[in-house]
Amino acid sequence: MSRSDDTHAPRLSDRGALIVSTGAFTGRAARKKFIARNSATERRIAWGAVNQPVPDAEARRIWDALEAKFRAATGSGPRAGVHPYRGFVGPYALSFKTCSAWHAAFARNMFRATPAPLGPRLLERTRRVSLQILHDPDTRLSELGVSFPTEAAIILDPARCRIAIVGTGYAGEIKKAAFSLCNILLPDLGILPMHAAANCFADGRGTSVLFGLSGTGKTTLSADPDRYLIGDDELAWSPTGISNLEGGCYAKLIDLDPEKEPLIYRAVNRPGAILENVGFEPGTGRVDFSDRSRTENTRGSYPLSSLEKTFDPDREADEPSTIVFLTADAFGALPAVARLDEFQAQYHFISGYTAKVAGTELGVSRPEATFSACFGAPFMPLHVTVYARLLASLARRSGASVWLLNTGWLGEDAGHGPRIPIPVSRGLLAAIQSGALDSVPMRIHPIFGFEIPLECPGVPAEFLRIPEGQAVAELARRFAANIDRISTEVPGGVPRDILEKGGPLPARRAA
């Protein structure tokens, strides 16, 4: 019988993957992330519970204390106490230093060996910028001589392009902090950073972008044996195409099935992969992917080269022909699939409705309805309209169709019974990407107003029914209330045409 190991010592699985424990933190510590507040960030950042401010002087004190510790560790003798890595986050050069050897291996898996291909003019502008990350997972801030409200913290300093991570061993903090910094810098270049996955054909055509929060299926659905993966989490959409900001994948592993997800299964069961907080048999190293005794949020990192079909990371793929918003509806109120017009696309992008999946954040033990702007609010620090305007402009030029794909629940047992089967979601996505859904009969949803296909090749009719009842009306009210809240927080509010033409019909009438 398998069990989770209680020690922190890394060890090898029976397939040669590295098994590690992240300690007390098995998910993102959202309340411990801060952004330095100074003249460069004061008016740009959407301050609040997601983007908590820390005084500039305090951010510098934490960085200086951490830097002094790293200097002392490398000042004499072997560099055994510090593990450096140099690479790229998107187009930006990265210097990463950590006290943990396996976290350095994680960085090698996840970041790029070369700058993202954004075109000569854009790359010339990004060459002047380099990012620095100092990472000390086992030290508390008080041990650095710093007085702070928390002992663990993730501090972003966009003005100096620096990130300090102290007191948490959850590796996801490293990639998400670097991604968040890119999300502040890239819009100034006319580039849309996206919390999304994307794949395409071998020649870079037929690009499809899948937005979605953790647990909605980005990694699973983007790993398609008939297409080439561009990336599964952090992408850039420039005026000339799509590229990957990172060099690896960070997949959820709970209940990983070799038959349903064969590409991911093979990628995490080989040397070079890092498995976080998984259960295993101590004697054999055999991993039990159903073991959730430590956390629901078991994770695996691996380089893109571990997958069989990946798009050349040094080329931009074509701009997308299809855009898909993934959502795990927890109430059975949304259909399995729907087509959105231009205004509905912006409305749903700003809304970012899904359900938080157990384990992706500390304190979340069951699915909870949430609205996360841009399908990734914790990683998108600027005001949501900055990203929404970029999406609308780029999508209008590329002519991409936009779809909503529900990978959550249908019917009265929503949130409790089984989710929509992965093969059904794959079938719907394949029909979107191939254009098969463009010519089928559609019905206008009576409340949300988007178009719902009445048939889909290879998908049983039971998954194409339109949910009705109180749950639908209640979700529409939640959408309207969320947009009202955003309108009060964003300078100038949400554009009126999006409010009037993009939201649920009751909200449109109110507008």
- Active-site positions read 28, 176, 195, 214, 218-219, 233, 299
- Token pair recorded at residue 208: 């499809």
DSSP state of 21: -
Q: Are the C-beta atoms of residues 249 and 307 closer than 8 Å to each other?
A: yes
Amino acid in position 318: D
Beta bridge partners of 198: 209, 231
The strands making up 274-276's β-sheet, listed across from edge to edge, are 11-12, 18-20, 274-276, 299-303, 248-252
Contacts of 341 (CB under 8 A, 6+ apart): 402, 450, 501, 502
Sign of the alpha-carbon dihedral angle for 255, 375, 487, 505: negative
Residues 330 and 422: their CA atoms lie apart, in Å, by 16
Q: What angle do CA 159, 184, 390 make, to 5 degrees?
A: 145
Nearest-Å Rg of the Cα atoms of the chain is 22
Q: Are the C-beta atoms of residues 36 and 56 closer than 8 Å to each other?
A: yes
Contacts of 79 (CB under 8 A, 6+ apart): 73
End-to-end CA separation in angstroms for the chain: 59
The 3-class secondary structure across 66-126, one letter per residue, is HHHHHHHHHCCCCCCCCEEEEEEECCEEEEEEECCHHHHHHHHHHCECCCCCCCHHHHHHH
- Nearest-CA neighbor of 448 among 475, 415, 425? 475
Contacts of 75 (CB under 8 A, 6+ apart): none
